[in-house]
Chains A and B, each alone.
Chain A
Amino acid sequence: MSDLPNISAAETTFAAESSGSIGVLTVRGTLDFTTHEPATEFFDKAFAQFGPNLVVNLLELDFLDSRATGLLVTCWKRALDEGGWLALVAVERGAARALWITGLTSHVPVFPTVEDALAAAPSRDQE
């Protein structure tokens, strides 16, 4: 990556779709204190819509600061508390490096692709 992504870093978009009983959430752009409020709202809605089984795709993230890292941890804990499962999709090199530096990857499941994450989801009754 060159410095070019900086220019578009202010854009943050949130997208959600379902894959079976799992909600797949994609965050693009910046996830930091400036986007904390819409991000919190987005995750709240995702829980309301899909329940606590979620995959959060961070592959297209430009920036992840410490507070936003906290938000991801909060979501992960909430999913566990509600009897669900939450996985992150991220690679170590890039904006999501903070997940490794903070040691979260040793506790929160992280996968390199959405497909890998969905394949690893705990099996549950599909009715």
Chain B
Amino acid sequence: MSGGDRILRLHPASGQSVDSGESSVEVMAGLVQAMLDAAPIQGAWVMPIRDQAGVILDFEVLAASPEARDIHNRTGKELVGLRTLEAYPGIAGSALWDAYLRVMETGEVEDVDPYVHREDGDDVPQPSTYGVHLARLQGGLLTSWVRHDRHDREERLSARLLHTERLGHLGWGHWSLITGEAEWSDQLYVIHGRDPAEGPFALEHYREIAHPDDVPVVEHALTTLTSTGGPHEFEIRIRVRDEYRHIRATAEVSRDAGGRPVEIHGVVQDVTDWRRTADELAEVTQRLEEESQLTARLQSIILPVQDAVPGLQIGVRYFPAETAPLGGDWYQAIHLDNEEALLAVGDVAGHGLAAASAMAKLRHAITGLAFADHDPAQILVALNRLLRRMRPDVLATSVVARYRTKDRTLRWTHAGHPPMLLVRGHKVHRLLHPGVLLGVFEDVTYSCAEIRLEPDDLLLMFTDGLIERPGRDLFEGLDILSAAIAETVPQVPPQDRVAAVMEALAPSNTGDDTCILVARILPNSLEVS
């Protein structure tokens, strides 16, 4: 734009028919301004600026309504004097600019709606949508406009709804009960795998696409809705292309003033993924439940109720770990057929079925070897070989003893196991005869120790869960255990001591399983507990 005086370059007449002076333009501007001041519109009167050849270069605002607001939030009189292309470069070359020129040319009123204004600038919303009305007036243009901000909001709302529907696998639909017409949201078509061009289907169509097992649910839902009409929720499987999808629908009927059902509204959610996950979870839960019952049964099979053993009064107790119902600790106390008894306690490292199955192997092997008249040392050598061969992944410890009734002799040995305790009178002794644990080394040997027991002696075998505790030496734990027993024993007569000791002992480490075996030497070897 060249500089110079604005007034000089004004050519107020459109066409060449009228030739008013500058003063008449100013008069007109005053009149139009007065009119705009009274009109509840956003409007401005703009005058073309032409070059010498009469070509329109730009427009200048000569009057503006008080309510007029431009894209930069200038209002009313602030707009006067602004040139269109200078102030709003985005208009250049736009449909609005073409319309400006056309209306100037033809004099026919035009609406440019929507006019989407694009312009660079920090304060300019991108893009902004207007409806603009153009009329030729006294050699200029009367432009009036509305901004479609409200429409933008609606669009945003609608976009948000679309996102919500898509993210939530949600769709909604209306089915008119009067006209039979229906309206679906976009996502409802997606959920049903239906082309929007086909339009919605009638509610009755659900009978055809529902899984055969779910047809009664559809029937019930349709009946409920049309009779009581209250909100009804149902879940069915529908065939979508070549698979069944789970949908959950919530529907209700709206009625007219006379209570007549008018329309059914429904919100439908595709819950297939959720349903699959829930089903899988239920399956896993059931499997765990079954495994838990199985392990409980296994435990009772592996560690049965104690049979009577001649010459000994025996108590056994098994504490499972708090976190695992099935552990690797085991005991055995059994009458061998030659007036001898086998007493043993062992620990297979770990929990669960793997540990339990190794434990069962060991326990049965020990029993078999004891019946084959192996002494404890031979039994452990064989057990070590068995583990190395059959379960190289397993580490185990054990204390194994044979008790001969006729001369009250106990022969025993340890494989990496905490010592036995012997309670004689009111004193507690450790019976330690260490050997290496089972399942680690290929060639190991064990040796037996032997002791003559006295009537009313108590033997205590247990696993490490009874004495181990963080921050404590195992032998400290053993001393604490011994002290507890020494305190308990004098308080009860010999025949009650097994029960009393069992009662007094509780695992120190509840994260591990614990097994306790207490045996009392009966004074009369013919006496059976």
Chain A interfacial positions (CB closer than 8 Å to B) = 1, 3-6, 9, 30, 32-34, 62-63, 65-67, 69-70, 73, 77, 93-95, 97-98, 100-104, 106-107
Contacts and interface: CB of A to CB of B under 8 A. Distances in A.
Contacts of A62: 470-471
B440 A104 contact: yes
A103 B470 contact: no
Contacts of A33: 350-351, 511-512
A106 B414 CA distance: 14
B148 to A, nearest CB: 61
A10 to B, nearest CB: 8
A101 B418 contact: yes
A106 B435 CA distance: 9
* A-B residue pairs, 7 tightest by C-beta: A103-B436, A102-B416, A5-B471, A9-B470, A63-B470, A70-B395, A97-B474
A94 B437 contact: no
B415 A103 contact: yes
28 contacts: A1-B472, A3-B471, A5-B471, A6-B471, A33-B511, A34-B511, A62-B470, A62-B471, A63-B470, A63-B471, A65-B464, A65-B509, A65-B512, A66-B397, A67-B349, A67-B395, A69-B349, A70-B395, A73-B440, A93-B475, A95-B471, A95-B472, A95-B473, A97-B473, A102-B397, A103-B434, A106-B436, A107-B436
Interface residues of B, number: 29
Given A66-B512, A101-B418, 16 more contacts: A5-B471, A30-B470, A32-B470, A63-B468, A66-B397, A67-B349, A69-B395, A97-B473, A97-B474, A98-B468, A101-B474, A102-B436, A102-B437, A103-B415, A106-B436, A107-B441
A6 B470 contact: yes
B349 A94 contact: no
Contact of B475 (A97, A103, A104): A97
A67 B464 CA distance: 11
**Residue with the greatest number of chain B CB neighbours at <10 A, chosen from A1, A6, A66, A95:** A66
Contacts, number: 86
Contacts of A77: 440
Nearest to A103: B436
Contacts of B511: 32-34
Nearest to B347: A66
Nearest to B328: A66
A94 B470 CA distance: 10
Interface string B458-502: 000000100011111111000000000000000000000000000
B417 interface: yes
A126 B161 CA distance: 72
B443 to A, nearest CB: 11
Contacts of B436: 102-104, 106-107
B464 to A, nearest CB: 6
A52 to B, nearest CB: 18
B377 to A, nearest CB: 13
A9 B471 contact: yes
Chain B binding surface SS class: loop
Contacts of B441: 107
A103 B397 CA distance: 10
Contacts of B417: 101-102
Interface in B62-94: none
A27 to B, nearest CB: 14
Contacts of A4: 471
A65 B395 contact: no
B429 to A, nearest CB: 17
Contacts of B351: 33
Contact of A5 (B350, B397, B470, B512): B470
A33 B472 CA distance: 17
Nearest to B350: A67
Contacts of B464: 65-66, 98
Interface in B367-417: 395, 397, 415-417
A6 B474 CA distance: 14
Contacts of A73: 395, 440
B469 A6 contact: yes
A77 B418 CA distance: 24
Interface in B233-257: none
A1 B474 contact: no
A6 B468 CA distance: 12
A18 to B, nearest CB: 28
Contacts of A94: 473
**Residue with the greatest number of chain B CB neighbours at <10 A, chosen from A62, A97, A104:** A97
Nearest to A107: B441
**Residue with the greatest number of chain B CB neighbours at <10 A, chosen from A33, A102, A104:** A102
B134 to A, nearest CB: 76
B417 to A, nearest CB: 7
B213 to A, nearest CB: 44
Nearest to B464: A66
A103 B395 CA distance: 13
Nearest to A70: B395
Contacts of A70: 349, 395
Interface string B322-353: 00000000000000000000000001011100
A97 B469 CA distance: 12
A104 to B, nearest CB: 7
